[in-house]
């Protein structure tokens, strides 16, 4: 009776395809990283050009910026620069939407805002926030832009006069315009309901005893804030030689320089993020494919009892247990079986026991009688390759029978029951 050997072959074409897509996406990310490296190499030379654009003082700050890079760490500095550039872009876009054609005057104001201790990003961001409020008054865009700039200048002066944080003063003025009286009270600005009504009547917005609309209240508060801060207005310019104001100006200039450096790097970083997202999609697809492959292997393990039963029916080998092997093209073993003995280098075999043979790749061999495996020899074994999904005894028997019929053989002719 001839021995019958059945080989299980797994299909990994989907896994290979998904891996290729992931590699391609990661290759694109590497290209973006190379571009970023080139940009970084040009940053040092670009500092001088950027400083020239920002004026003589910005030029003088070039060494200071480089010293900050050395002290704080290049990576940390560049990360902050890119973040500053991104924030500046967002505020520029918001300014264009809020003020329309008048946005040019707001941006021009922001370019020189270091003269009042504010960075460009702080100045146009605050102006846009005020503009959102003033637009509810039904004013023309240029008038709204002028009022917004005036409030930003006032916040800088009040911060200088009272030795307060300019950002905090910007928020206090915005709260006052919105109807909160307390934030500005300690700085000599009284915005009580009675004062607002009296001012609205004085301005001719309403008659005595008439109710005010929200837009009229904002106009009256704006007038009261300017009226009650005359002593504080212009303080930054008057005390520009003080240490506090010089530090504010220095910080503003450094923030502008950092944002300018970030604008050089931002397009490359944006491209890298896009490449990362593409790589993430490809890796996610690879993960799904691997998950599916693992599921198939698990399904094969669950069905191994049926396969073992089928082999027992074919060859009377009831002792075969625990088979869960799968061999991929090229001979790599993905999973094995605990009861399989190695005979790929030759040796004795006994009936009913599973042996691992094959010199070119792993093959599962279950002999019907005792004998010896001779490496490279020509025996009477018949090999049937089973590809695809085989989960039941009947499916396995049908595959084996079909393979034998293609050779002009049958199980009976080979001595199997």
Least confident of 76-80, 177-181, 224-228: 76-80
Retrieve residue 397's tokens: 């028997």
In terms of pLDDT, which residue wins out, 46 or 254? Answer: 254
321 Cβ neighbours under 8 A, 6+ residues apart:
308, 339
323 has pLDDT over 70: no
Q: What pLDDT score was predicted for residue 172? A: 95
Give the relative orientation of helices 103-111 and 141-162 as an angle to the nearest 10 degrees.
30
Q: What pLDDT score was predicted for residue 337? A: 40
Mean per-residue pLDDT over the chain, rounded:
73
Q: What pLDDT score was predicted for residue 328? A: 33
Residue 137 binned pLDDT confidence (cut-offs 50, 70, 90):
confident
Q: How far is CA 23 from CA 268, 282, 332, in A?
A: 21, 8, 21
In terms of pLDDT, which residue wins out, 65 or 118? Answer: 118
**For 277-292, how does the pLDDT look when each residue is reduced to its tens digit (9 = 90+)?**
666 666 566 566 656 6
Average the pLDDT over 41-50 and give the result.
Answer: 50
Average the pLDDT over 104-125 and give the result.
Answer: 93
302 has pLDDT over 60: no
Share of the chain above pLDDT 70, in %: 52
In terms of pLDDT, which residue wins out, 85 or 278? Answer: 85
Q: What pLDDT score was predicted for residue 30? A: 60
Q: What pLDDT score was predicted for residue 51? A: 44
Q: What pLDDT score was predicted for residue 401? A: 78
**For 228-247, how does the pLDDT look when each residue is reduced to its tens digit (9 = 90+)?**
999 999 999 999 899 988 98
Q: What pLDDT score was predicted for residue 38? A: 59
Q: Are 217 and 179 in contact (CB under 8 A)?
A: yes
Q: What pLDDT score was predicted for residue 359? A: 56
Greatest mean pLDDT among 165-179, 241-255, 290-304 lies in 165-179
Q: Per-residue DSSP letters for 159-173?
A: HHHHT--HHHHHHHH
Q: Are 325 and 8 in contact (CB under 8 A)?
A: yes
In terms of pLDDT, which residue wins out, 384 or 139? Answer: 139
**Cα–Cα dist 117/29, whole Å:** 40
Share of the chain above pLDDT 90, in %: 32
Please state the three-class secondary structure of the chain as a single string: CCCEEEEEECCCHHHHHHHHHHHHHHHHHHHHHHHHHHHHHHHHHHHHHHHHHHCHHHHHCHHHHHHHHHHHCHHHHHHHHHHHHHHHHHHHHHHHHHHHHHHHHHHHHHHCHHHHCCCHHHHHHHHHHHHHHHHHHCCCHHHHHHHHHHHHHHHHHHHHHHCCCHHHHHHHHHHHHHCCCHHHHCCCCCCCHHHHHHHHHHCCCCCCCCCCCHHHHHHHHHHHHHHCCCCCCCHHHHCCCCHHHHHHHHHHHHHHHHHHHHHHHHHHHHHHHHHHHHHHHHHHHHHHHHHHHHHHHHHHHHCHHHHHHHHHHHHCCCCCCCCCCEECCCCCEEECCCCCEECCCCEEECCCCCEEECCCCCEEECCCCCEEECCCCCCCCEEEEEECCCCCHHHHHHHHHHHHHCCCCCCCCCCCC
Residue 123 binned pLDDT confidence (cut-offs 50, 70, 90):
very high
361 has pLDDT over 60: no
> pTM of this prediction?
0.50
Q: What pLDDT score was predicted for residue 35? A: 58
Q: Per-residue DSSP letters for 318-360?
A: TT------EE-TTS-EEE--TTPEE-TT-EEE-TT--EEE-SS
In terms of pLDDT, which residue wins out, 71 or 20? Answer: 20
118 has pLDDT over 90: yes
Q: What pLDDT score was predicted for residue 55? A: 46
Average the pLDDT over 154-162 and give the result.
Answer: 95
104 has pLDDT over 90: yes
72 has pLDDT over 70: no
59 has pLDDT over 50: no
Residue 147 binned pLDDT confidence (cut-offs 50, 70, 90):
very high
Q: How far is CA 112 from CA 30, 150, 365, in A?
A: 39, 14, 85
């Amino acid at each position: 009776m001839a021995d019958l050997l059945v080989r299980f072959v797994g299909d990994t074409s989907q896994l290979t395809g998904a891996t290729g897509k992931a590699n391609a996406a990661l290759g694109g990310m590497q290209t973006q990283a190379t571009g970023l490296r080139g940009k970084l190499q040009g940053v040092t030379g670009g500092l001088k050009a950027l400083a020239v654009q920002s004026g003589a003082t910005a030029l003088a700050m070039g060494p200071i910026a480089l010293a900050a890079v050395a002290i704080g760490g290049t990576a940390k500095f560049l990360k902050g620069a890119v973040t500053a550039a991104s924030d500046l872009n967002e505020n520029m876009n918001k300014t264009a939407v809020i003020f329309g054609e008048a946005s040019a005057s707001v941006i021009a104001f922001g370019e020189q805002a270091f003269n009042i201790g504010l960075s460009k990003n702080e100045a146009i961001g605050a102006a846009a926030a005020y503009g959102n409020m003033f637009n509810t008054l039904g004013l023309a865009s240029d008038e709204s832009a002028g009022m917004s700039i005036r409030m930003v200048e006032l916040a800088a002066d009040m911060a200088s006069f009272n030795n307060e944080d300019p950002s905090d003063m910007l928020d206090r003025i915005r709260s006052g315009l919105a109807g909160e009286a307390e934030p500005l009270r300690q700085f000599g600005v009284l915005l009580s309901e009675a004062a607002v009504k009296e001012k609205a009547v004085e301005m001719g917005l309403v008659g005595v005893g008439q109710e005010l609309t929200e837009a009229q209240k904002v106009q009256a508060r704006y007038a009261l804030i300017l009226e009650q801060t005359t002593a504080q207005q212009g303080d930054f310019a008057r005390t520009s030689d003080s240490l506090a104001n010089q530090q504010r100006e220095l910080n503003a200039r450094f923030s502008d320089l950092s944002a300018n450096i970030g604008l050089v790097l931002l397009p490359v970083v944006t491209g890298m993020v896009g490449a990362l997202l593409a790589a993430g999609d490809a890796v996610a697809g690879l993960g799904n494919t691997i998950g599916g492959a693992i599921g198939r292997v698990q399904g094969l393990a669950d069905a191994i009892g049926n396969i073992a039963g089928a082999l027992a029916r074919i060859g009377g080998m009831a002792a075969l247990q625990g088979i869960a092997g799968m061999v991929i093209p090229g001979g790599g073993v993905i999973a094995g079986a605990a009861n399989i003995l190695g005979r790929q280098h030759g040796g004795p075999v006994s009936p009913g026991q599973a042996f691992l043979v094959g010199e070119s790749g792993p093959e599962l061999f279950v002999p019907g009688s005792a004998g010896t495996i001779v490496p490279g020899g020509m025996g009477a074994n018949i090999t049937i390759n089973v590809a695809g999904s085989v989960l039941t005894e009947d499916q396995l028997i049908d595959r084996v029978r079909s393979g034998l019929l293609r050779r002009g053989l049958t199980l009976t002719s080979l001595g199997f029951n």
